[in-house]
Amino acid sequence: MTQAFYTGISGLKTFSTGIDIVTDNIANISTPGFRGYNAEFSTIYDAALSGSSQGVVTSQVGIGTRIASSSLIEANGSLLLSDRSTDLALQGDGWFGVQREGKPEYTRDGTFGFDANDDLVTGDGYHVLGTMGKNINDQDVLTKVLDEVKLGASGAQEKLRFPKSLSYPPEATTEAKFIANLGSGKPGFETITVGAGVIDPNGTKNHLRLEFTKKTVQTPPGTQWDVKAQTQSLDGTIVYDTKFGEVKFNDRGALISSSLSTIDNNGAAVKMDLGSGYDGIVTIDIPVVSGSSIANGTPGGELRGYSINKNGEVIATFTNGMQSSVGRIAVYHFQNDQGLERLSGTRFQESANSGKALFYKDANGENVIGSEIVNFMVEGSNYDLTSGLTELIILQRAYDASSKSITTADQMMQKALDMDA
């Protein structure tokens, strides 16, 4: 009869703990990145009724229940729309790394933003970890364009800083290629003009103008033309340099030679490429059409904004149309997610059971994030409210049944004592 007391009391303690786990899950149903837990029960050691068992009827009886463990629910939560580009969600396995002091912590909660120092942080000031591209200097100027930032070693991740004002330095034009047909130089078409836009070291766009004039006296075979090259401001008020030269063509209109080489563009030397053969400037006896040109160089630009692609790369876009990768957000993985030590509803740290944080690798041995990242979204709680309410009802009834078993055992004990009296 006293065993009934032990069984009922163990049930009260066990189902009370189970109710606590479920109610905590339900209370955090709206917490971004929350990971729920399931309570797992087991029986306390059975007691033997007799020395041996005959037939199929058991000869043992349980003497209570206990919480064996609380297991982490690893299913992904639903994605919720956000109005901030810095809010991120993971589609697949993995954890964001955040750190303030001491060891890194790991979370699925991607509600990030920028602090006063332009660092990417959580709402409570933890720095988001990743790999910087090392292409932004202390003056917040882009030093080089990167197509991709490789993810560094898992133990070498750093806080991510993306300045609100970032400048793209101008790249002066060093070469301009011209493509045009000068025709045969018939009356009215003895002078043909071709131009190109060129960038000077200050990032200003200027005009490189080539003026071809057919020589009055020709030396067959082929034709010869004088050419005047001039760099000037777009409005034509400032002339930076003027060069003169001669170009020669064979009797089929293909370019043979050109004496033009380079011209100054407000401090930058620009190579003038007129092509060779039929690749560039030609003189073919067909109607003359507008020429074209190709010039390198890029005007300066200011930051338009950042975007994050599915591979976790942070891409800076500038007003001059250029883009560059400037960093990559790290996504960590563990051999055993169940072994992570829970610090709060959304934060975890590694333990001996989880193993060390690691990165997945691709076929080339490069570190990869191993899942997809989407911005303007956050991951909601992964706990199912319907299942939680059903489980709560079951646990409450089990708790009531344990309480009733104690009351019944007490009544039986009282009757037994009354019989002795």
String of DSSP letters for 220-249: SSSEEEEEEEEEE-TTSS-EEEEEEEEEEE
Give the per-residue pLDDT at 65: 83
Instruction: Check whether residue 334 and residue 352 sit in a common domain.
Output: yes
Give the per-residue pLDDT at 304: 94
pLDDT above 70 (res 197): yes
Instruction: Check whether residue 35 and residue 99 sit in a common domain.
Output: no
Give the per-residue pLDDT at 272: 97
Instruction: Check whether residue 242 and residue 94 sit in a common domain.
Output: no
| The domain boundary residue, chosen from 295, 311, 338 | 295
Domain containing residue 232: CATH number: 2.60.98
Instruction: Check whether residue 225 and residue 163 sit in a common domain.
Output: no
**Lowest mean pLDDT: which of 37-51, 242-256, 328-342?**
37-51
Can you tell me the mean pLDDT for 327-338?
96
pLDDT above 90 (res 209): yes
Give the per-residue pLDDT at 52: 53
Can you tell me the mean pLDDT for 144-153?
94
Q: Which residues are paired to 245 by β-bridges?
A: 227
Instruction: Check whether residue 329 and residue 251 sit in a common domain.
Output: no
Instruction: Check whether residue 368 and residue 264 sit in a common domain.
Output: no
Arithmetic mean of pLDDT over the chain: 89
Instruction: Check whether residue 366 and residue 221 sit in a common domain.
Output: no
**Helix axes of 2-27 and 385-420: crossing angle, nearest 10 degrees:** 160
Instruction: Check whether residue 282 and residue 188 sit in a common domain.
Output: yes
pLDDT above 90 (res 208): yes
Query: Any idea how long the chain is?
Result: 421
Q: What is the pLDDT of residues 169-189, one digit of tens each?
A: 999 999 999 999 988 776 666
Domain count, the chain: 3
Give the per-residue pLDDT at 187: 67
Instruction: Check whether residue 214 and residue 226 sit in a common domain.
Output: yes
**Lowest mean pLDDT: which of 197-211, 276-290, 317-331, 405-419?**
405-419
**Lowest mean pLDDT: which of 11-20, 111-120, 226-235, 349-358?**
11-20
Instruction: Check whether residue 263 and residue 201 sit in a common domain.
Output: yes
Share of the chain above pLDDT 70, in %: 93
The parent domain of residue 28 ranges over 2-74+382-420
**Single pTM value for the model:** 0.77
Can you tell me the mean pLDDT for 197-201?
95
Q: pLDDT tier at 63 (50, 70, 90 boundaries)?
A: confident
Give the per-residue pLDDT at 350: 95
Q: What is the pLDDT of residues 26-49, one digit of tens each?
A: 999 999 999 999 988 877 766 555
pLDDT above 60 (res 54): no
Instruction: Check whether residue 363 and residue 412 sit in a common domain.
Output: no
- Separation of alpha carbons 95 and 347, rounded Å: 10
Residues 6+ apart with CB under 8 A from 278: 253, 254, 255
* 212 CB burial (10 A radius; 0-12, 13-18, 19+): buried
Give the per-residue pLDDT at 62: 66
Can you tell me the mean pLDDT for 328-344?
94
pLDDT above 70 (res 120): yes
Q: What is the pLDDT of residues 286-326, one digit of tens each?
A: 776 678 999 999 999 999 999 999 999 999 999 999 999 99
| 127 CB neighbour count, 10 Å cutoff | 22
Q: Which residues are paired to 99 by β-bridges?
A: 127
Give the per-residue pLDDT at 47: 56
pLDDT above 80 (res 270): yes
Q: Are 243 and 265 in contact (CB under 8 A)?
A: no
Residues 6+ apart with CB under 8 A from 94: 331, 332, 333, 369, 370, 371
Instruction: Check whether residue 362 and residue 410 sit in a common domain.
Output: no
| The domain boundary residue, chosen from 247, 278, 295 | 295
Q: What is the pLDDT of residues 349-408, one digit of tens each?
A: 999 999 999 999 999 999 999 999 999 999 999 999 998 899 899 989 988 888 888 888
